[in-house]
């Protein structure tokens, strides 16, 4: 919940001159009210726009909700589904995640499904069982292997505590194994992102990991540091 329309315009006029890449997919996820402005600002640039959430019904009496089609209509191309804040603060479940993923694909929006354990689960050794169940239930019945999965340990989001590259790789590798059970060999090509206190100072080490194909950046995306993350030298 950052940046109104005029702040969004300022943001892109500062950011866009700093990044130019056809090698990396760069997507910014502003709040709903800034989607259209963000799409206009980024036209002709290497940056695409996505939404932070969506609802799984097409239209109707669902006050306060925004459909996949409404998002698509702004020119946005991606959507985040099941971010941990949606799950912990707003009651999102694996079942609603699954419905949203289905609707996103049906509408032509490319979804990113977020998964991740909290500190209690990590400390009590439940991480792998929990992630496996989020993947199994979130992706139940979904055959579209253009899904992107973001591993975001809750204890690392917005805390300044980044998972070590070893911890992140261990879970991302585990996620790829679970994806292989569902998608077979196509799992090798499914993009798995790491998120949680990603910064210019740790991007290189994280991206060097075999099963980390990209990152989901929160706090650092609000600063010009984001350009250094996009432009990191591999």
Q: Catalytic site residues?
A: 83, 152
C-alpha to C-alpha distances, 44 to 15, 61, 68, 234, nearest whole angstrom:
14, 36, 23, 25
Q: Is 227 a binder of ligand PGA (CB under 6 A)?
A: no
Q: How far is the CB of 57 from ligand PGA (least distance, A)?
A: 25
The residue from 31, 75, 173, 218 that contacts ligand PGA (CB under 6 A) is 218
Q: Is 111 a binder of ligand PGA (CB under 6 A)?
A: no
Q: Is 157 a binder of ligand PGA (CB under 6 A)?
A: yes
- Tell whether the torsion through CA atoms of 8, 12, 14 and 19 is positive or negative: positive
Q: How far is the CB of 66 from ligand PGA (least distance, A)?
A: 19
Whether the CB-CB separation of 209 and 172 falls below 8 Å is answered with yes
* 182/197 with CB nearer ligand PGA: 197
Q: Is 50 a binder of ligand PGA (CB under 6 A)?
A: no
The CA distance from 3 to 19, in Å, is: 20
* 74/197 with CB nearer ligand PGA: 197
The beta-carbon contacts of 40-46 under 8 Å, at least 24 apart in sequence, are 41/8, 41/9, 41/12, 41/13, 41/16, 42/12, 42/16, 45/16, 46/19, 46/20, 46/21, 46/22
Site string for ligand PGA, 172-211 (x = CB under 6 A): -----------------------xxxx-------------
The CA distance from 15 to 18, in Å, is: 5
The residue from 15, 28, 206, 217 that contacts ligand PGA (CB under 6 A) is 217
The CA distance from 62 to 221, in Å, is: 31
The residue from 152, 202, 212, 214 that contacts ligand PGA (CB under 6 A) is 152
* 158/184 with CB nearer ligand PGA: 158
The CA distance from 109 to 215, in Å, is: 19
Whether the CB-CB separation of 90 and 80 falls below 8 Å is answered with no
Q: How far is the CB of 152 from ligand PGA (least distance, A)?
A: 5
Residues in contact with ligand PGA by CB under 6 A are 152, 157-158, 195-198, 216-220
């Amino acid at each position: 919940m950052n940046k109104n329309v005029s702040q969004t315009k300022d943001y892109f006029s500062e950011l866009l001159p700093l990044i130019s890449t056809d090698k990396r997919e760069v997507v910014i996820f502003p709040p709903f009210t800034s989607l259209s402005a963000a799409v206009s600002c980024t036209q002709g640039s290497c940056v695409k726009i996505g939404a932070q959430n969506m609802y799984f019904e097409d239209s109707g009496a669902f006050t306060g909700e925004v459909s996949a089609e409404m998002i698509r209509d702004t020119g946005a191309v991606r959507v985040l589904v099941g971010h941990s804040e949606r799950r912990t603060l707003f009651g999102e479940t694996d079942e609603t995640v699954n419905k949203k993923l289905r609707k996103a694909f049906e509408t032509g929006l490319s979804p990113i499904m977020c998964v991740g354990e909290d500190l209690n689960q990590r400390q009590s050794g439940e991480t792998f069982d929990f992630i496996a169940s989020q993947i199994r239930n979130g992706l139940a019945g979904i055959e579209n292997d253009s899904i992107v999965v973001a591993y975001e340990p809750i204890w690392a989001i917005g805390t300044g505590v980044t998972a070590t590259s070893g911890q992140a790789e261990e879970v991302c590798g585990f996620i790829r194994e679970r994806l292989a059970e569902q998608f077979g060999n196509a799992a090798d090509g499914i993009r798995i992102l790491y998120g949680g206190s990603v910064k210019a100072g740790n991007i290189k080490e994280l991206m060097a990991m075999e099963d980390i194909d990209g990152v989901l950046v929160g706090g650092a995306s609000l600063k010009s540091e984001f350009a250094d993350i996009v432009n990191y030298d591999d």
